[in-house]
Amino acid sequence: MRKKLVAGNWKMHGSLQQNAALLERIRAGVSGLACDVAVCPPYPYLGQVQGLLSGSDVAWGAQSLSEHSAGAFTGEVSAAMLVEFGCRYVLVGHSERRALYGETDVAVAAKFEAAQRAGLVPVLCVGETLAEREAGLTGDVVARQVSAILDCSGVVAMASAVVAYEPVWAIGTGLTASPEQAQAVHAAIRAQVAAMDVEVAKGLRILYGGSVKPQNAKELFGRADIDGGLIGGAALVADDFLAICLAAN
């Protein structure tokens, strides 16, 4: 039985004051829940989050990382730095990183490896654009994004990773994949991994992301291969995020 995970991706939102108020509510609200909960704030707030969440039931992570371990890479942050700030998770290959910052499958695979080398749990984000879905390419695109990791790191790497299926057309748009649409893609990802290792596939947590709200979370999380959510906008509103965590509980 896979334990559900609800992770909040704050993207480029927050302030010291807002974070403190939000985290106080989340910390109290998820205490004792049976699912795993995490938040991914912008880098500068990781120290604050570490201070406020240490010893709680809420884990935290970063939204990206460098594939390099150290050196002359202005503006970049290494996996070891994230570990120093107590991160458990790190997102890799979020569609905004792929679309706005040109991250390729190869770059995402290198980041995934760098995360695992440091002991972080990479949350590999995959998903198709609207044009790709309309062209019937959803399965191909997602399989290619997953293959990039399997080819580079091997299937065993998936035993200590999380996958997040986030259809690009559902992110921040208020459009959600229907539970059937999401379940179909999740099942395909699991089958792809199972073709290489059945046990790893059984244990792999596959999250859904894209306009998850309190109103749709329970139905999504009720599907066989949907093991929780990666939450954007609703992760910034304590009541909404807590309601989504409860739906996963």
> Is 13 known to be catalytic?
no
Q: Is 230 in the site for ligand 13P (CB under 6 A)?
A: yes
> Is 134 known to be catalytic?
no
Q: Which of residues 29, 93, 122, 210 is near ligand 13P by CB under 6 A? A: 210
Residue 56 C-beta: closest distance to ligand 13P, Å: 22
b/e string for 49-73 if b means 16 or more Cβ within 10 A? beebbeeeebbbbbbbbbbeeeeee
- Residue closer to ligand 13P (CB basis): 190 or 213: 213
Q: Which of residues 14, 93, 167, 209 is near ligand 13P by CB under 6 A? A: 209
Task: Give me the numbers of helices (H) and strands (E) for the chain, helices first please.
Answer: 11, 8
**# binding residues, ligand 13P (CB under 6 A):** 14
* 3-state helix/strand/coil string of 119-164: CCEEEEEECCCHHHHHCCCHHHHHHHHHHHHHHHHCHHHHHHCEEE
CA nearest 229: which of 99, 218, 174?
A: 218
* 3-state helix/strand/coil string of 30-58: CCCCCCEEEEECCHHHHHHHHHHHCCCCE
Q: Is 212 in the site for ligand 13P (CB under 6 A)?
A: yes
Q: Is 233 in the site for ligand 13P (CB under 6 A)?
A: yes
Q: Is 236 in the site for ligand 13P (CB under 6 A)?
A: no
Distance CA 90, CA 93 (A): 10
Catalytic one of 96, 103, 113, 166: 166
Q: Is 103 in the site for ligand 13P (CB under 6 A)?
A: no
Q: Which of residues 64, 126, 232, 247 is near ligand 13P by CB under 6 A? A: 232
Q: Would you say the C-alpha torsion 83, 76, 116, 94 has a positive or negative sign?
A: positive
- Residue closer to ligand 13P (CB basis): 119 or 172: 172
Q: Is 231 in the site for ligand 13P (CB under 6 A)?
A: yes
Q: Is 171 in the site for ligand 13P (CB under 6 A)?
A: yes
Those residues with Cβ within 8 angstroms of residue 86's Cβ, 6 or more apart along the chain or in another chain: 46, 50, 54, 60
Residue 167 C-beta: closest distance to ligand 13P, Å: 10
Query: Active-site residue numbers?
Result: 94, 166
* Residues at the site binding ligand 13P, with contacts judged by CB under 6 A: 9, 94, 166, 171-172, 209-212, 230-234
